[in-house]
Amino acid sequence: MKIVWLTVSMIFVLAFVLVGVAHNAMPASIDAHETADDSSALFAKHCADCHGKDGRAKGFKAKAKGTRNLTDPQWQDRVSDERIFNAINNGKGRMPAFGKKLSETQVNSLVQYVRGLKR
């Protein structure tokens, strides 16, 4: 009975190890795609209400608050990634801070997402 139990236990351990190895062996393109999906979802959840789904800040709420058009190429050329990161993390003007709601990785993914909105 002990041999059967020991064999079953070893099979489970081996299965977990193989799953872990297989997960780490996934190509980077899948991770990058998942990150793009994650940043899109983060933008939709935390930013789109004010900046709009496309980042253009065309809605009533955006106009009432004076929200920045994130697709503006002149603004995109002027602003650094660090400044965008700090605005998201610490807030700026009427924009709320998201530093306590989002991880540093999530804020960085939003910075890259905002960069991708440039027209």
Domains in the chain: boundaries? 28-115
Residue 116: alpha-carbon gap to chain centroid: 13
pTM beyond 0.75: no
| Contact in structure between 62 and 52 (CB atoms under 8 Å) | yes
Dig out the tokens for 90 from the structure: 């610490």
CA distance 99 to 116: 21
Answer whether CATH 1.10.760.10 is correct for domain 28-115.
yes
Given this model, what pLDDT does residue 74 score?
A: 97
Q: Please tell me the total number of residues recorded for the chain in this structure.
A: 119
Residue 43, phi then psi, degrees to nearest 5 = -60, -45
- pLDDT tens figures, 87-103: 999 999 999 999 999 99
